[in-house]
Amino acid sequence: MGHMSGHRAYVIRGSVSLPEAELMWRFSRSSGPGGQHVNTSDSQVELRFDLARTEALPEVWKQRALERLESRLVGGVISVRASEHRSQWRNREMAATRLASLLAEATAPPPKPRRATRIPRGINERRLREKKRRGETKQGRSGKDWG
């Protein structure tokens, strides 16, 4: 793992992480909180990643992500923003982490379909019998005579 200019790789899943070289950063003035410094610091971070063209993801993942994120993509590009923090560096971290987890979710294998399990007859009948008994027990509880 060669070290990258001061920050760590953002792992998506397994051995796949965000391709540092393909991340497109834009910094703009944040409308977030801040003191006198507020109008001068470019702390809003926008991170864009060209999902349609990337080679960094396994093909299957890429197809999955393109399908699942379709509504969020602009020309195959996904973008995330972060401006909670006053420090641009913290916002970069946020944005990258967000992108990584977004992609992790979008590339996750589809859940296995749930197979309906058959309940053996005897069990079900026993359950119904117990249920009935309990109902009767409860009825007897209110001291009044059930006319």
| Segment 53-95, tens digit of pLDDT | 999 999 999 999 999 999 999 999 999 999 888 888 999 999 9
Q: Does some domain include residue 42?
A: yes
Distance CA 55, CA 109 (A): 19
Counted domains in the chain: 1
User: Does residue 24 sit within a domain?
Assistant: yes
CATH classification of the domain holding 15: 3.30.160.20
* Portion of the chain with pLDDT greater than 90, in percent: 48
Helical spans, DSSP H, in the chain: 59-68, 88-107, 121-139
Range of the domain at 18: 11-107
